[in-house]
Amino acid sequence: MYKATSPGITNATMIFKFEVAPLASKSSISESYNRVYTFNMLPPGTTPSSSSSPAPTYSFA
């Protein structure tokens, strides 16, 4: 959970961890996937305007 304490731009990184077990093999493969999101926290009562967002940044561990 995230609670903004003041208006402004903030970034959040979400990390998704998973494990894959191939059918023909007994060993599994562990992997993680990260995605960075940028949020513009607006003051209470503000109506957001529509705008385009930049492409997300991906990185693989």
The answer to whether the CB of 17 falls within 8 A of the CB of 32 is yes
> Looking at the domain assignment, is residue 37 inside a domain?
yes
* Closest by Cα among 2, 16, 30, 23 to 38: 2
> Looking at the domain assignment, is residue 16 inside a domain?
yes
Task: Express each pLDDT in 20-55 by its tens digit.
Answer: 887 776 788 888 888 888 888 888 888 777 665 665
> Looking at the domain assignment, is residue 19 inside a domain?
yes
The answer to whether the CB of 30 falls within 8 A of the CB of 22 is no
Specify the pTM: 0.42
Residue 59's pLDDT band (cuts 50, 70, 90): low
Residue 28: give the domain boundaries.
7-42
Domain count across the chain: 1
